[in-house]
Amino acid sequence: MHRSVRAESRSTIHYPGAMTGGLRPRRIALISVHTSPLAQAGTGDAGGMNVYVWQTATRLAKRGVEVEIFTRATSSSDAPTEQAAPGVTVHHVPAGPFDGLDKHDLPGQLCAFSANVLRAEAAQEPGYYDLIHSHYWLSGQVGWLARDRWGVPLVHTAHTLAAVKNASLADGDTAEPKLRVIGEQQVVDEADLLVVNTPTEASELVDLYGADPARVDVVVPGADLERYSPGDRLAARARVGLRPDDVVVTFVGRIQPLKAPDVLLRAMAPLIRSDAAGRLRLLVVGGASGNGAGLPEALVDLAAGLGVSAGVTFLPPQAPADLADVYRASDLVAVPSYSESFGLVALEAQACGVPVIAANVGGLGVAVADGVSGVLVDGHDIEAWTARLAALLADPARLRSMGTQAAIHARAFSWDHTTDALLGSYERAMAAYRRGAGRQTGLFGLRRRRTRPRVTI
């Protein structure tokens, strides 16, 4: 059963419900080429997508669906196959050198990656997988080929879209290449079902990539509500190394222009300088990623140049248990990104009972209840951010009230709900594929290409 709402575009957006007892997958191939769900989020290219893949995979397994994850091997110590959790197997696929490749080098290794994925399936009995779920466009390219070879539906989640990122670039950031835009268009054309995080993202797929709205499902991500929950702020501050009476604004994420940590630092600088008591602190938690290779050092230099080094603390990426303490130790968490398909940091912070100030972009309008669990800021004007930060920090009672509401708001989002919705999408994809497979395949079992509008580049 699906309920529909009108999105901003002309499309009808589908929200999948629970499984209806129809076609339930026994085993799925989950493809995540460029980053492993076992990697530490906040380092390299590991981020919210890693969390999404791991959380949904383990919960699918608990519901009796076997999950096999294919990701590129990045170390000689990676076991070819690893039983990462009950019912979850991770295949570390050799494709190119272990070191020295970033995300932009990987298109040249997709042939090697695809060949090894196909070989893994060929070693099994026919019909081993019931469905493929690919994450990010590189994985979609592999999934498209495997779908045609295995005769099973392809579900794809983009997580981010090049056309959207290129429309909102940070100063000094580099546009996503045409190769990626074309590759995304191909995957949108070929996937049997597209799963997105928000109605906004659904509209972007329809408007910018010509996606068929009937093949788009909105499945809202969640938070690990057992790990991320309200706790003792003073104890958390002691563990993080903060003083009990500090006033703490926190940034958590990969250090890259897209995430805009420099915007937050510049906005906080006049507030830190004017704090005679020296209690106001900015906590920056994360590692370099993508185009931000030299940004951590640049942020340190920027803090020095702004005269606020003493008020800024930099921490490396944190394991989930430690990250929960970082959130609980904070008075306010800031997510100033130029683009976010959803914004898991905002949701995790709220689950810990901490309000969020976030840029009003992408899925952050869903993750944050504006004026209730946090505030949304239009644009990235430094003075506007300073003013909004100052108003919030000057009103501790309002922050406490928002923190209470933040925990309530976050309870509406969980990975269990996300997984239930994904199972509904899988059922829909499998049923549609079974109904239409005969019409969509041609000679040699290869699927005929469907004609769809192409993105303009």
Annotation: binding site for UDP-N-acetyl-alpha-D-glucosamine: 48, 254, 259, 318, 340, 348
Q: How far apart are CA 208 and CA 161, in angstroms?
A: 10
Query: Which helix or strand (DSSP H or E) is residue 344 part of?
Result: helix 344-351
Question: 247, 225, 198, 244: which is closest to 350 by C-alpha?
Answer: 225
Q: How far apart are CA 241 and CA 329, in angstroms?
A: 10
Asked whether 372 and 405 are in contact (CB, 8 A), the reply is: yes
Q: What is the DSSP letter of 49?
A: H
Burial of 355 (0-12, 13-18, 19+ CB in 10 A): buried
Q: How far apart are CA 134 and CA 139, in angstroms?
A: 5
Q: Which residues participate in the annotated binding site?
A: 34, 45-50, 103, 136, 160, 180, 254, 259, 318, 327-328, 330, 340, 348
143: number of Cβ within 10 Å: 31
Q: What is the DSSP letter of 447?
A: B
E strand spans, 27-110: 27-31, 66-72, 81-85, 88-93
Q: Which residues participate in the annotated binding site for 1D-myo-inositol 3-phosphate?
A: 34, 45-50, 103, 136, 160, 180
In the numeric block, which tokens belong to residue 84? 């990462």
178: number of Cβ within 10 Å: 11
Amino acid present at 57:
A
Q: How far apart are CA 254 and CA 335, in angstroms?
A: 11
Q: What is the largest CA-CA distance in the chain?
A: 76
Q: What is the DSSP letter of 227?
A: T
Question: 15, 221, 30: which is closest to 131 by C-alpha?
Answer: 30
In the numeric block, which tokens belong to residue 246? 């500090």
Spell out a b/e string for 416-444, using b for 16 or more CB atoms within 10 Å of the CB, else e: ebbbbbbbbbbbbbbebbeeeeeeeeeee
Q: How far apart are CA 114 and CA 451, in angstroms?
A: 24
Q: Which residues participate in the annotated binding site for Mg(2+)?
A: 327-328, 330
In the numeric block, which tokens belong to residue 298? 């640049």
Q: In what order do the strands lie in the sheet with 193-196?
A: 2-6, 12-16, 216-218, 193-196, 154-157, 131-135, 27-31, 66-72, 88-93, 81-85
**Rounded to whole angstroms, what are the CA distances from 389 to 55, 79, 257, 334, 358?**
33, 47, 20, 9, 11
